[in-house]
Amino acid sequence: MSLALYASHEHQSRGRRYPEPSPGLRGEYQRDRDRIVHSTSFRRLEYKTQVFVNHSGDLYRTRLTHSLEVAQIGRTIARILSLHEDLVETIALAHDLGHAPFGHAGQDALDVCLKDHGGFEHNLQALRVVDELEERYASFRGLNLTFESREGILKHCSLAHAAALGAVGRRFLEGGQPSLEAQVANLADEIAYHCHDADDGLRSGLITLQQLREVMLFREPYEEVVRLYANLPERRVIHEVVRRMVNRQIVDLTEASAARLQRVNPLGSEEVRQQAEPLIGFSPSMVKQNHELKQFLRVALYGHYQIRRTAAKVGRLIGALFDAFLADPYLLPPQALLDLQEREDSAGVTGRAQAVGDYIAGMTDRYAILEYKRVLDPSI
């Protein structure tokens, strides 16, 4: 692997919070990636909602398959730009570890529950998962990842929280950018979910081909496919279009980013961090097309009344579970109760609320539904 000057080189890493011997046969970011894949939170992604609630169909993306798509798109971009593929992959696989059950509806509901105790932010929660909540090692809490992986995982953060995070939160207070690998993972996420949400939306029947043909990023490849292949069954048309959408965005992103990198010519990853704007990005025309697709999905898919109904139901479910556990922590299973007592001892009622929040945030969709029945449904 030949890395560009501005890539994240392992020998320049800011290291781990708890020093460890070098990983030997593996690289440092490879070790981070392996730690993510072996973590409990990673396995939970299989049963967490992306857009469609986990039990609504076997073929929709889950957080796990979404994360795998992000990793694969991210690696492709990293390889073209001579960036560190393992670091991009680590960030991609870890980027959604902090998601509550039921996707954004779950996160919004938890945010409301925790509004007097710091709120709930899934990026911050992902960092908490890898820094604190995973329990796998004898000598430290969390997974003890490198600074560069942690920096990439913390994509957004409110100023109030950033102040408490030390080096990894500094860019939110003082400006600056994360590594190019973090920037790639971030946009690989956007490419993946725009394209697969369009695909899943069509599969569900909540949006139609006719509607999507109004959106330029879909229309152009669609017209190309129907011109090239007459009488192709619709399922294959959709796949041919979606893969072209992914490809177009990757080509655009790598070309636009390579041009920007050549112009700015940063001499190392620290110079990348000092930039006022990200160096990885789409061309202005692709930014516009992406925006159009995003707006369309927001209204037609995420705003569809059937998706809203589900969101409202799961929001009430999360709220009810939170209230029940907060009012009576003895309803929690033993380990979660011990965690809560420890947090309450050190941080009072906020510690108590956050421990309940962590317990709920860690749930898969189906576990949350089961817990709801076990805690609140007297008939079982």
Residue 200 to residue 247: CA distance in whole angstroms: 18
DSSP state of 4: P
Provide, rounded to whole angstroms, the least separation between the CB of residue 364 and Mg ion: 16
Where on the chain is the footprint of Mg ion (CB under 5 A)? 96, 189
Provide, rounded to whole angstroms, the least separation between the CB of residue 189 and Mg ion: 4
Cβ nearer to Mg ion, comparing 96 with 358: 96
Coil, helix or strand at residue 49 = strand
Q: Which residues pair with 16 in a beta bridge?
A: 146
DSSP state of 139: S
Cβ nearer to Mg ion, comparing 162 with 187: 187
First-residue to last-residue Cα distance in the chain: 57
Amino acid at position 265, single letter: N
In residues, how long is the chain? 380
Cβ nearer to Mg ion, comparing 189 with 197: 189
Comparing every residue's Cβ against Mg ion, the nearest one is 189
Cβ nearer to Mg ion, comparing 64 with 369: 64
Coil, helix or strand at residue 238 = helix
Cβ nearer to Mg ion, comparing 73 with 336: 73
Provide, rounded to whole angstroms, the least separation between the CB of residue 318 and Mg ion: 20
Provide, rounded to whole angstroms, the least separation between the CB of residue 67 and Mg ion: 7
Cβ nearer to Mg ion, comparing 94 with 353: 94
Provide, rounded to whole angstroms, the least separation between the CB of residue 92 and Mg ion: 9
Residue 63 to residue 46: CA distance in whole angstroms: 6
Provide, rounded to whole angstroms, the least separation between the CB of residue 225 and Mg ion: 27
SS3 content of the chain, % helix, strand, coil (to 5): 70, 0, 30
> Contact, 126 vs 153, CB < 8 A?
yes
